[in-house]
Amino acid sequence: MPPSTETLTAERILEATEEVLRRHGPAKATVVDVARALGVSHGSVYRHFRTKAALREAVTKRWLDRTTGMLAVITEADGDPEARLREWFAALFEAKRRKAGDDPELFATYTVLTGENVEAVVEHLTELTGQLTRVVQDGIDAGTFTVTAPATTALALFQATARFHDPGYAGEWEKPGAEEEFTALLDLLVRGLKA
């Protein structure tokens, strides 16, 4: 492949890495493959990411941040806290289902990568529960929710709904009745917030 005339950026490298991972899978994808896809030397890639592990961690973080960013819009919106809570969980469930269903190879790859990059996953989960904490606090402030510990409540909500966003349950997301089960659980949880 001829050398690329485009400026090599971290973002271009991450995009190429995603494609290489999709094509080769996490076990066979190499930095040389990424460099080849970009038309640059592998040393050029290493100038942006010091190790293969750092590159894989950055790709994982980028993937997780897409979901976090989309949910942040819902978190920061004005409006009824109950509606925002429901919308936030529905968007999370749909995003995870779409990722698993639309590109199962890449989803499987990211399942491997998230297992390798526990720190990025912990940061992601912390950010998600932080978003939920804000929505719960808004509900408390508005008098919609009667709970008194927003962070503890947010964590409990997140854990209670794990079946609808934890990748370990991906095989269940398209089963008949999954949407109805999700709605029933969310209705139950919201009633608990108001009790």
pLDDT (tens digit per residue) in 33-83: 999 999 999 999 999 999 998 998 898 899 889 999 999 999 999 999 999
Q: Where does the pLDDT of residue 1 fall: very low under 50, low under 70, confident under 90, or very high at 90 and above?
A: very low
Q: What is the pLDDT of residues 113-166, one digit of tens each?
A: 888 888 888 999 999 999 999 999 999 999 999 999 999 999 999 999 999 999
Contact status, residue 121 vs residue 114, Cβ threshold 8 Å: yes
Please tell me the distance from the alpha carbon of residue 48 to that of residue 76, in angstroms, as a whole number: 33
Confidence at residue 83, expressed as pLDDT on a 0 to 100 scale: 98
- Say if residue 103's pLDDT is above 80: no
Q: Where does the pLDDT of residue 100 fall: very low under 50, low under 70, confident under 90, or very high at 90 and above?
A: confident
- Say if residue 3's pLDDT is above 80: no
Tokens describing residue 67? 């979901």
DSSP, res 3: P
- Which residue in this structure is represented by tokens 């969980």? 89
Query: If we measure between CA atoms, which residue out of 104, 71, 115, 102 comes closest to residue 89?
Result: 71
Tell me the CB-side half-sphere exposure of residue 189, using CA atoms within 13 A.
Answer: 22
